[in-house]
C-alpha cells in the first residue's frame, strides 16, 4: 500500500481550500451589508473569547517568560488591534447600511499642498481619555475633495455583489494581528475570498486563528492553512487564485514575483515577472527617527531615549516599522547627553530570545561591518554612521535589535531640511518615519514643520510618537508611500487597516505628547497620557495590555479606572 507524503497532503489541502473558496464566492456575493456586519461582529466576539489563548500561543513561540512585562506587547499588538479594527469596520458598514458614508461622523480639514485630511483619532470620548494627547490624520492625495472622499469611502462594500475572486494572504510571522487584519481587509475592502497561509513561525496560532475566523470559514469565505515556502509557492501560482497579498521583506517579495537566483534577477531587470497576477504588499524597510535639536530637561532626554529604544526593541526588533537609524544634529549642545541616555535605555530594556529566524546572523553582520558597532546586552548600537559612505545600515532592513546613529549638521530648520532629504534619498523603504522635537522647537518651525511632513515620502509620519501608533489606529491607513511598482517595490504596494475604507489614501500623520503625564500637565501640554504601555521599559505593560484588550472587546465606562491605575503605575 502506498502512502502520500506530508508535502503531497499539504498541496492537496491547499487545492481543496482554493476550490472551497471558488464555490463560496456565490455565497459571499449574496451576503448583503447587514449580513457582512453580523459576521464581522461575530468575529469580534470570537476574538474576545480567544484573546487569552491568542496571547499565550504568541508568548510561547516568542519564548517570553511567564509573568514578563513583555507579554503586554502580545496583548497590544495581537487581539487588541483586531478588536478595535472589527469594531471600527462594523461602524463603517452601519454607515453604509443607513445610506451614508463611513466618513460622515469624522471631521476633515485642509492639509498642505491642496490636500484634505481626515481626522481619525481621537474620534470618541474613549479615545480622548485612553489616548489623551495623541492624534492621527489620514491625508488624501492633492486635489481630492471632501465630497469625493465621502462618496468613494466604502470601497468594494459599495458593490458587495461584485466579488473579485480568491486571494492568497501570506501571513506575517512577527506581529500576530497582521494575518487576521489582512484577511479582513481583503474580504471587506476588496471583496476577495481569502486563503491565509501562515508563516511557519506562527503555526502555534492555527487553532486560535481558525476559531477567530470561524464565522467566515463556516460560510466558505476564508480558509487557514499551514506549510512552508513550497505550499506558499503552490498557492500563489494556483490557476484559481486571482491576487496575492504578502507581509515580509522586499527580498521575499522579489523571490515570489520574479523567482530566485540569477534567473530571478534577470526577470526583474527585464520587467518580466514569474507571477502573472496582481500583488499587494507591506514590506518594511529602514525606518529613521529624526531628533531635532533643542533645549531639553534631563527628564525629557531620558524619556525620549526610552522612546527611541522602544521604537527599535519592541517585539525584539522584529517589526517592519522598527526604527533602525536615529538622525541627530552634530551641533546639538545636548547630543552627547542624549546618547548617554540612549545607551542606558538600550541597556535597561529587558533582554529576550532571538525568536525570528536569521536574527543572530544579521546582528553578527552589523558587528562585523561597522567599527563603531558595540554590543549592549543582546542588542547592537552603531555610532558614527556616514550617509555618504556605502553601508547596510541605511539600505538593508536588519529585522533584528540593531540601532544606528547618524549625525548631520545644522540648527533645527537647516538640520530638518537635510534630515528629510537624507531620509528620502538615502534610506531604503517608505513605510514610516518618526520626528521628535521639543514643543518650543515645533512652535519655532511653524509652517516649516508641515512642509517637512509633506516632503517626507513615507506612508506614516509620526511627530513625538512612534509610527506604531498609526498601526494600532484602526481607522488610519497603513502601508508604504504610494507609487511603488513590483520591480521597485520598496515598502510595498497598497494599504491595509483603513477601517473607514478610504479610496487611495496617501499617508497617515500621527502626533503625540512630548512628555508623559504628569510632567506634560506641569509643562502646559494638554495630555493625560503616562508612559505608553508599548514602551519596552513599562513595568505594568502586561496588565495594562490585557485590560485594554478586555475593554476593546466590550467598551464600558466601568473598565476605565483599572486601566488608568495600571497605566499610571507603568
**Which among 450, 453, 455, 500 has a CA at the least distance from the CA of 477?**
500
Q: Is the pLDDT of residue 1 over 60?
A: no
- State the average pLDDT over residues 347-363: 95
**Distance between CA atoms of residues 173 and 177, nearest Å:** 10
- The count of residues in the chain is 570
For the chain, give every residue range classified as CATH 3.40.605.10: 6-102+157-248
Q: Phi/psi at 406 (nearest 5 deg)?
A: -120, 125
Q: Is the pLDDT of residue 496 over 70?
A: yes
Cα separations in angstroms, 498 against 318, 367, 506: 23, 39, 11
Are the beta carbons of 112 and 453 closer than 8 angstroms? Answer: yes
Banded model confidence at residue 255, pLDDT cuts 50, 70, 90: very high
Least confident range of 52-61, 260-269, 359-368: 260-269
- Three-state DSSP at 344 gives helix
Phi-psi region of 106 (alpha: psi -120 to 50; beta: other; left: phi over 0): beta
Q: How many other C-beta atoms are found inside a 10 Å radius of the C-beta of residue 418? A: 17
Domain 287-538 falls in which CATH fold?
Aldehyde Dehydrogenase; Chain A, domain 2 (3.40.309)
Cα 68 versus chain centre, distance: 23
Taking only the tens place, the pLDDT of each residue in 10-27 is 999 999 999 999 999 999
pLDDT at 163: 97
For the chain, give every residue range classified as CATH 3.40.309.10: 287-538
- State the average pLDDT over residues 103-121: 97
Helix (H), strand (E) at residue 109: strand 108-111
Helix (H), strand (E) at residue 328: strand 323-329
pLDDT at 424: 98
Share above pLDDT 70 across residues of the chain, in percent, rounded to a whole number: 99
**Distance between CA atoms of residues 138 and 397, nearest Å:** 26
pLDDT at 524: 87
Contacts of 483 (CB under 8 A, 6+ apart): none
Packing angle, helices 541-553 and 560-569, rounded to 10 = 160
pLDDT at 311: 98
- Give the DSSP letter string of 47-95: HHHHHHHHHHHHHHHTTPPTT-TTHHHHHHHTHHHHHHHHHHHHHHHHH
Q: Is the pLDDT of residue 379 over 60?
A: yes
Taking only the tens place, the pLDDT of each residue in 431-486 is 999 999 999 999 999 999 999 999 999 999 999 999 999 999 999 999 999 999 99
**Which among 230, 163, 173 has a CA at the least distance from the CA of 198?**
173
**Distance between CA atoms of residues 21 and 183, nearest Å:** 13
10 Å CB burial of residue 426 (0-12, 13-18, 19+) is middle
Dihedral sign computed on CA atoms, order 552, 555, 559, 563: positive
Cα separations in angstroms, 306 against 76, 340, 434, 506, 521: 18, 11, 14, 30, 20
Cis peptide before 122 (omega within 30 of 0): yes
**Distance between CA atoms of residues 168 and 198, nearest Å:** 10
Measured in Å, how far apart are the chain's first and last C-alpha atoms? 62
pLDDT at 523: 87
Are the beta carbons of 319 and 174 closer than 8 angstroms? Answer: yes
**Which among 381, 373, 277, 389 has a CA at the least distance from the CA of 338?**
381
Q: Which letter, b or e, does each residue of 305-317 get, where b requires 16 or more Cβ atoms within 10 Å of its Cβ?
A: bbbbbbbbbbbbb
Cα separations in angstroms, 532 against 153, 468, 569: 32, 12, 11
Q: Phi/psi at 437 (nearest 5 deg)?
A: -155, 145
**Distance between CA atoms of residues 240 and 234, nearest Å:** 11
Q: Is the pLDDT of residue 95 over 60?
A: yes
Cis peptide before 518 (omega within 30 of 0): yes
**Distance between CA atoms of residues 207 and 476, nearest Å:** 29
Domain 6-102+157-248 falls in which CATH fold?
Aldehyde Dehydrogenase; Chain A, domain 1 (3.40.605)
Are the beta carbons of 549 and 51 closer than 8 angstroms? Answer: yes
pLDDT at 5: 77
Higher pLDDT, 525 or 192: 192
Are the beta carbons of 447 and 473 closer than 8 angstroms? Answer: no
**Distance between CA atoms of residues 317 and 311, nearest Å:** 8
Cell 478588536 appears where? 83
pLDDT at 467: 98
What pTM was estimated for this model as a whole? 0.96
- Three-state DSSP at 138 gives strand
Least confident range of 263-277, 328-342, 409-423, 499-513: 263-277
Over the chain, what is the mean pLDDT? 96
Q: Provide the grid cell at 367.
A: 558587528
Cα separations in angstroms, 131 against 89, 321, 516, 517, 534: 20, 20, 11, 12, 12
Banded model confidence at residue 68, pLDDT cuts 50, 70, 90: very high
**Which among 31, 76, 70 has a CA at the least distance from the CA of 51?**
76
Helix (H), strand (E) at residue 560: helix 560-569
Q: Is the pLDDT of residue 50 over 60?
A: yes
Q: Catalogue the E-assigned strands of 350-505.
A: 373-376, 379-385, 402-408, 432-436, 460-463, 477-479, 492-493, 495-497
Are the beta carbons of 537 and 349 closer than 8 angstroms? Answer: yes
pLDDT at 304: 98
pLDDT at 2: 54
Banded model confidence at residue 3, pLDDT cuts 50, 70, 90: low
Amino acid at each position: 500500500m502506498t502512502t502520500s507524503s506530508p508535502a503531497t497532503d499539504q498541496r492537496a489541502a491547499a487545492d481543496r481550500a482554493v476550490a472551497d473558496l471558488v464555490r463560496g464566492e456565490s455565497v459571499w456575493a449574496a451576503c448583503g451589508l447587514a449580513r457582512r456586519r453580523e459576521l464581522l461582529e461575530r468575529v469580534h466576539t470570537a476574538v474576545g473569547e480567544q484573546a487569552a489563548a491568542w496571547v499565550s500561543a504568541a508568548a510561547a513561540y516568542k519564548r517570553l517568560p511567564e509573568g514578563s512585562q513583555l507579554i503586554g506587547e502580545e496583548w497590544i499588538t495581537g487581539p487588541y488591534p483586531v478588536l478595535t479594527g472589527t469594531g471600527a469596520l462594523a461602524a463603517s458598514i452601519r454607515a453604509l447600511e443607513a445610506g451614508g458614508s463611513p466618513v460622515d461622523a469624522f471631521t476633515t480639514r485642509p492639509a498642505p499642498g491642496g490636500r484634505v485630511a481626515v481626522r481619525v483619532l481621537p474620534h470618541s470620548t474613549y479615545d480622548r481619555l485612553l489616548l489623551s494627547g495623541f492624534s492621527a490624520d489620514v491625508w488624501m492625495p492633492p486635489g481630492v475633495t471632501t465630497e469625493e472622499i465621502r462618496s468613494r469611502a466604502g470601497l468594494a462594500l459599495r458593490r458587495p455583489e461584485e466579488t473579485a475572486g480568491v486571494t492568497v494572504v501570506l501571513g506575517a510571522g512577527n506581529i500576530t494581528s497582521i494575518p487576521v487584519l489582512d484577511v479582513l481587509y481583503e474580504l471587506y475592502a476588496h471583496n476577495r475570498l481569502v486563503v491565509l497561509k501562515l508563516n511557519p513561525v506562527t503555526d502555534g496560532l492555527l487553532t486560535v486563528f481558525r476559531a477567530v475566523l470561524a464565522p467566515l470559514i463556516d460560510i466558505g469565505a476564508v480558509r487557514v492553512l499551514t506549510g512552508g515556502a513550497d505550499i506558499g509557492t503552490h498557492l500563489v501560482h494556483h490557476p484559481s487564485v486571482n491576487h496575492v497579498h504578502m507581509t515580509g521583506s522586499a527580498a521575499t517579495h522579489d523571490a515570489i514575483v520574479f523567482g530566485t537566483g540569477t534567473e530571478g534577477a534577470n526577470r526583474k531587470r527585464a520587467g518580466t515577472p514569474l507571477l502573472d497576477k496582481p500583488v499587494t504588499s507591506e514590506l518594511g524597510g529602514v525606518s529613521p527617527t529624526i531628533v531635532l535639536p533643542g533645549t531639553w530637561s534631563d527628564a525629557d532626554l531620558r524619556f525620549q531615549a526610552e522612546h527611541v529604544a522602544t521604537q527599535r526593541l519592541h517585539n525584539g526588533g522584529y517589526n517592519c516599522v522598527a526604527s533602525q537609524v536615529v538622525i541627530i544634529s552634530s551641533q546639538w549642545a545636548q547630543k552627547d547627553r542624549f546618547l548617554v541616555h540612549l545607551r542606558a535605555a538600550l541597556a535597561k530594556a529587558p533582554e529576550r530570545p532571538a525568536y525570528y529566524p536569521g536574527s543572530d546572523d544579521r546582528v553578527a553582520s552589523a558587528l562585523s561591518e561597522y567599527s563603531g558597532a558595540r554590543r549592549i546586552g543582546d542588542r547592537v548600537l552603531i555610532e558614527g554612521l556616514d550617509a555618504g559612505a556605502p553601508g547596510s545600515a541605511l539600505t538593508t532592513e536588519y529585522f533584528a535589535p540593531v540601532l544606528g546613529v547618524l549625525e548631520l549638521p545644522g540648527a533645527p530648520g537647516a538640520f530638518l531640511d537635510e534630515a528629510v532629504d537624507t531620509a528620502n534619498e538615502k534610506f531604503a523603504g517608505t513605510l514610516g518615519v518618526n520626528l521628535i522635537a521639543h514643543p518650543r522647537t515645533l512652535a519655532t518651525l511653524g509652517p516649516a514643520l508641515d512642509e517637512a511632513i509633506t516632503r517626507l515620502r513615507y506612508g506614516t509620519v509620526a511627530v513625538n510618537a512612534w509610527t506604531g501608533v498609526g498601526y494600532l489606529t484602526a481607522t488610519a491607513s497603513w502601508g508604504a508611500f504610494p507609487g511603488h511598482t513590483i520591480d521597485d517595490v520598496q515598502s510595498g504596494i497598497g494599504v491595509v487597516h483603513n477601517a473607514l475604507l478610504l479610496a487611495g489614501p496617501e499617508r497617515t500623520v500621527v502626533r503625540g505628547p512630548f512628555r508623559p503625564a504628569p510632567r506634560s500637565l506641569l509643562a502646559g501640554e494638554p495630555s493625560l497620557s503616562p508612559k505608553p504601555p508599548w514602551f519596552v521599559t513599562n513595568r505594568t505593560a502586561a496588565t495594562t495590555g490585557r485590560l485594554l484588550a478586555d475593554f476593546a472587546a466590550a467598551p464600558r465606562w466601568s473598565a476605565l479606572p483599572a486601566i488608568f491605575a495600571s497605566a499610571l503605575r507603568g
